[in-house]
């Protein structure tokens, strides 16, 4: 088991290293002079050649590429991600402030998506072709097809502006406070919608195939109540394919965070990054991309390790 | 045995697709929406009631009326005409991006799966690397470097599609390459190029077609999201995502500005998903009778 964990971590670290290379190279693969990425358009217009050379030296862009890369990696290993070109604040400190907000929003939407996905999926499968099932199936297609940013705006229009039940944007405070909960509800529902719809379809089809298995028939024949049969016997097995897509769900949610945080002015890493892109603050963009991708890779390693604990066959494959 | 795990588009596959469309309501809805969309794309100049870029500043943020069927935006531009013209931009960029990704991804997947060894390892590692950027993040990163613009969005969507297509193709090739018909082809003297292009590619076509249909749906969503964030297609070009981004500023006073483009994105994506699902049921014999 330890060997498996070590192997998995080694693979993950090569991927993270590769991501760092890509993020570093992005600057140099861009058309034009890399120093352009460190200048806002208004500065670029009035900057003298000397000023441009000064910026080039300040960011080490005058050194050979391999030295620049070495410096980049050394800084990252020391969790020094440089300073924002706009605010001149240390980027690592800014990210540390915003990371918990993204994590909180991600976890709440993941939880919502899974609860809704499993409950509705099971209800739909156990009442096949009923009114519930016939409503849920087309709705699940609607859920995966809605553009998140538009859904977010529509929910905001309805619940924040028309009904005035929930705040339109921002983070209200810790999750355990009423303000915190009220603020997170709209962005979390928006972000979880796609995953919930996907899960409903997956749980439904997985449940349907499991409900036809012999052991389910045996459980029924033993006289167990339908609830026990469904939840204790069928659902446990039906969840296996569902668990395998948790890694994918986390990806969708982390990617979605970048967009949805911007819609709801949620003070997380995603919004930080989009603001940086629009302000041409490239070091912040690099650091944010790196943080989100690393989180995603590490979550996948954790998920893989959990599978290996649950299902020993995986360790030896 | 390996034949069971792949989908080939045979005549019976298409016939089954026709049957599926006739008996499934979502499939019919999907076909109908795509038909209307095709009309919009082809007949945009005839269908639109105004020039999509022309500003009517005396008619700013007007609600739907006889003159402006879906109302006007903050510059008095006709939303209906912009949605109609926007179909050309949103759908063609999504489709072109997926096509680019498919061509590169299929090439990498065929080579990796067929030749194996270090080449395969390198391709897999590259895919893992690109897949480490969750969801839209890869496209956003690429756009942050390249800057907005139609060609750049196509490139971003293309690169974002490559790893998934490559892995899918590689998986299909691995399950097919020891099949008897490949051995037979080799026995009668077919070279690698012929086996790859004729035998392996044609037999993975079904899976790839289903994937492409569903991927176009996701690509249209991604293009719209990029434009919404200000990274995709810049105004005044009528693009559905950027129309929502503009309308967002006026959401309280004129919600109709974001309603129409949002519904257009949603219906197009849903139609592609419906169609992809129906294609999958029709082309994959294992699915028959499941529902």
Find the residue in B nearest to A158 (Cα). B252
Q: How deeply is A97 buried, as exposed, middle or buried, from its count of CB atoms within 10 A (0-12, 13-18, 19+)?
A: middle
Report the C-alpha gap between A190 and A260 in whole angstroms.
7
| B199 to chain A, closest Cα gap in Å | 30
Report the C-alpha gap between B253 and B249 in whole angstroms.
9
| A239 to chain B, closest Cα gap in Å | 19
Report the C-alpha gap between B177 and B184 in whole angstroms.
11
Neighbours of A93 (CB within 10 A): 12
CB–CB contact A258 B140 (8 Å)? yes
**Tokens 């559905």 belong to residue:** B240
Neighbours of A138 (CB within 10 A): 14
CB–CB contact A256 B129 (8 Å)? no
A117 neighbors A200 (Cβ within 8 angstroms) = yes
Which of A145, A205, A293 lies at the smallest CB-CB distance from B137? A293
DSSP code at position B147: -
A183 neighbors A105 (Cβ within 8 angstroms) = no
Neighbours of B65 (CB within 10 A): 11
Alpha-carbon dihedral B240, B227, A201, A131, rounded to 10 degrees: -30
- What pLDDT does residue A306 have? 81
Share of chain B above pLDDT 70, in %: 93
B138 neighbors B223 (Cβ within 8 angstroms) = no
| A142 to chain B, closest Cα gap in Å | 7
Domain boundaries, chain A: 12-77, 97-310
CB–CB contact A18 B140 (8 Å)? no
Q: Which tokens belong to A93?
A: 């400190």
Q: Among candidates A207, A199, A213, which has minimal Cα distance to A230?
A: A207
Find the residue in A nearest to B218 (Cα). A145
Neighbours of B267 (CB within 10 A): 17
- Given CA atoms B273, B278, B282, B284 in this order, what sign does their dihedral have? positive
- What pLDDT does residue A242 have? 77
Q: Where does residue B116 fall: left (phi above 0), alpha (psi -120 to 50 degrees), or beta otherwise? A: left
DSSP code at position B33: H
Phi, psi of A90 (to 5 degrees): -65, 130
CB neighbours of A46 closer than 8 A, spacing ≥ 6?
none
Strand partners, B78: B72
Report the C-alpha gap between B237 and B242 in whole angstroms.
9
Find the residue in A nearest to B144 (Cα). A277
A277 neighbors B231 (Cβ within 8 angstroms) = yes
B161 neighbors B222 (Cβ within 8 angstroms) = no
Report the C-alpha gap between B182 and B175 in whole angstroms.
11
Q: Where are the alpha helices (DSSP H) in A30-88?
A: 41-46, 49-58, 65-77
Q: Which tokens belong to B227?
A: 């434009």
B228 neighbors B220 (Cβ within 8 angstroms) = no
Please state which architecture CATH assigns to domain A97-310.
Orthogonal Bundle (1.10)
Give the mean pLDDT of B255-270: 95
For testing contact with chain A, the best of B132, B217, B260 (most A CBs within 10 A): B132
Three-class SS of residue B78? strand
For chain B, how many residues are written?
Answer: 291
Find the residue in B nearest to A22 (Cα). B129
Three-class SS of residue A298? helix
CB–CB contact A150 B244 (8 Å)? yes
A141 neighbors A193 (Cβ within 8 angstroms) = no
> pLDDT-derived band of residue B175, with 50, 70 and 90 as boundaries?
confident
Residues of chain A with pLDDT under 50: none
Find the residue in A nearest to B232 (Cα). A278
Q: Which residues of A touch B231 (CB under 8 A)?
A: 277
pLDDT at B278 over 80: yes
- What pLDDT does residue A259 have? 94
- Write the pLDDT tens digit of every residue in A42-84: 676 777 888 888 878 877 788 888 888 888 888 888 888 888 8
Q: Which residues of B touch A144 (CB under 8 A)?
A: 273
Q: Among candidates B1, B127, B225, which has minimal Cα distance to A147?
A: B225
Which of A19, A256, A262 lies at the smallest CB-CB distance from B229? A262
Report the C-alpha gap between B260 and A149 in whole angstroms.
14
Find the residue in A nearest to B266 (Cα). A146
Give ipTM to 2 decimals.
Answer: 0.88
> pLDDT-derived band of residue B287, with 50, 70 and 90 as boundaries?
very low
CB–CB contact A292 B270 (8 Å)? no
B75 neighbors B51 (Cβ within 8 angstroms) = no
> pLDDT-derived band of residue B291, with 50, 70 and 90 as boundaries?
very low
- What pLDDT does residue A155 have? 96
For chain A, how many residues are written?
Answer: 317
Give the Å distances, CA to CA, from A86 to A54, A279, B54, B252.
17, 8, 36, 31
Mean residue pLDDT of chain B comes to 87
Q: Which residues of B touch A256 (CB under 8 A)?
A: 135-136
B240 neighbors B54 (Cβ within 8 angstroms) = no
| A51 to chain B, closest Cα gap in Å | 22
Q: Which tokens belong to B202?
A: 């044609």
- What pLDDT does residue B24 have? 80
Report the C-alpha gap between B140 and A25 in whole angstroms.
15
CB–CB contact B244 A147 (8 Å)? yes
């Amino acid at each position: 088991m330890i060997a498996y964990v070590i192997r998995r971590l080694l693979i993950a670290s090569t991927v993270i290293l590769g991501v760092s290379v890509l993020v570093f190279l992005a600057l140099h693969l861009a058309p034009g002079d890399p120093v352009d990425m460190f200048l806002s358009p208004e500065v670029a217009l009035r900057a003298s050649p000397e000023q441009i050379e000064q910026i080039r030296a300040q960011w080490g862009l005058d050194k050979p590429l391999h030295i620049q890369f070495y410096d980049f990696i050394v800084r990252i290993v020391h969790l020094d991600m440089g300073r924002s070109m706009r605010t001149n604040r240390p980027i690592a400190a800014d990210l540390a402030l915003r990371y918990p907000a993204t994590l909180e929003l991600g976890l709440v939407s993941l939880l919502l998506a899974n609860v809704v996905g499993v409950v509705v999926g099971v209800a739909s499968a156990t009442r096949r072709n009923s009114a519930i099932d016939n409503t849920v199936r087309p709705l699940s297609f609607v859920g995966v097809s809605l553009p998140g940013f538009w859904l977010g705006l529509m929910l905001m229009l309805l619940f924040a502006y028309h009904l005035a039940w929930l705040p339109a944007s921002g983070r209200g405070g810790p999750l355990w406070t009423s303000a915190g909960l009220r603020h997170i509800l709209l962005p979390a529902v928006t972000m979880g919608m796609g995953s919930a719809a996907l899960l409903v379809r997956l749980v439904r089809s997985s449940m349907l195939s499991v409900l036809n298995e012999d052991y389910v028939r045996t459980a029924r024949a033993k006289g167990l109540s339908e609830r026990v049969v469904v939840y204790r016997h069928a659902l446990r097995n039906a969840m296996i394919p569902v668990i395998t897509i948790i890694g994918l769900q986390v990806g969708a949610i982390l990617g979605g965070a970048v967009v949805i945080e911007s819609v709801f002015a949620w003070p997380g890493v995603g919004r930080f990054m989009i603001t940086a892109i629009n302000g041409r603050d490239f070091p912040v963009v690099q650091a944010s991309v790196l943080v989100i991708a690393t989180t995603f890779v590490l979550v996948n390693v954790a998920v893989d390790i959990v599978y290996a604990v649950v299902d020993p066959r995986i360790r030896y494959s | 045995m390996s034949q069971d795990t792949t989908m080939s588009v045979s005549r019976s596959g298409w016939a089954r697709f026709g049957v599926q469309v006739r008996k499934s309501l979502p499939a019919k809805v999907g076909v109908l929406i795509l038909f209307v969309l095709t009309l919009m794309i082809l007949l945009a100049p005839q269908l639109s009631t105004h020039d999509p870029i022309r500003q009517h500043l005396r008619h700013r943020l007007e609600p739907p009326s006889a003159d402006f069927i879906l109302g006007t935006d903050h510059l008095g531009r006709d939303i209906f005409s912009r949605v109609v013209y926007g179909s050309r931009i949103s759908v063609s960029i999504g489709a072109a991006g997926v096509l680019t990704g498919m061509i590169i991804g299929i090439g990498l997947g065929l080579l990796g799966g067929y030749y194996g060894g270090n080449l395969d390892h390198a391709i897999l590692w590259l895919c893992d690397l690109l897949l480490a950027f969750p969801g839209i993040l890869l496209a956003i990163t690429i756009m942050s470097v390249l800057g907005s613009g139609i060609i750049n969005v196509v490139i971003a969507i293309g690169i974002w599609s490559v790893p998934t297509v490559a892995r899918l193709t590689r998986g299909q090739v691995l399950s097919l390459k020891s099949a008897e018909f490949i051995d037979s082809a080799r026995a009668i003297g077919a070279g690698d190029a012929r086996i790859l292009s004729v035998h392996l590619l044609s037999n993975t076509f079904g899976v790839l077609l289903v994937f492409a249909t569903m991927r176009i749906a996701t690509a249209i969503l991604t293009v719209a999201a990029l434009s919404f964030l200000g990274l995709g297609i810049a105004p005044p070009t009528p693009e559905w995502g950027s129309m929502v981004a503009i309308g967002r500023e006026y959401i309280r006073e004129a919600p109709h500005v974001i309603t129409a483009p949002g519904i257009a994105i949603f219906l197009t994506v849903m139609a592609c998903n419906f169609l992809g699902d129906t294609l999958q049921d029709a082309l994959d014999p294992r699915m028959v009778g499941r529902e």
